[in-house]
């Protein structure tokens, strides 16, 4: 399964090749990616796969603590 990234990254000004977390996708966006993947491989259930209403309307996933790695090089991120 391809990785679903829960962080959105952007470039660090003045530091080419580095990126930092600039936000996160909504739960609906993550759910849509998962749903698309499951459907593409034929694993999407017919009747009970739905996003809970608590996660709808633009709610974002909690960000993971980044204090241990505030900057990630583009090359390092690509190798993950």
Per-residue pLDDT of 56-80, as tens digits, reads 888 887 665 554 445 556 666 666 5
| DSSP 8-state secondary structure symbol assigned to residue 67 | T
Per-residue pLDDT of 4-61, as tens digits, reads 888 888 999 999 999 988 888 888 998 899 999 999 999 988 777 888 888 888 888 7
Give residue 68's pLDDT.
47
pTM of the model: 0.61
Pick from 59, 72, 66, 64: nearest CA to 30: 59
Distance CA 55, CA 59 (A): 6
Give residue 53's pLDDT.
84
């Amino acid at each position: 399964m391809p990785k679903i990234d829960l962080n959105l990254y952007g470039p660090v000004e003045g530091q080419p090749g580095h990126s930092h977390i600039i936000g996160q996708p909504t739960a609906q966006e993550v759910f849509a990616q998962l749903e698309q993947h499951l459907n593409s491989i034929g694993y999407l259930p017919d009747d009970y796969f739905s996003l809970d209403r608590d996660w709808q309307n633009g709610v974002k996933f909690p960000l993971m603590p980044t204090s241990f790695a505030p900057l990630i090089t583009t090359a390092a991120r690509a190798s993950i």
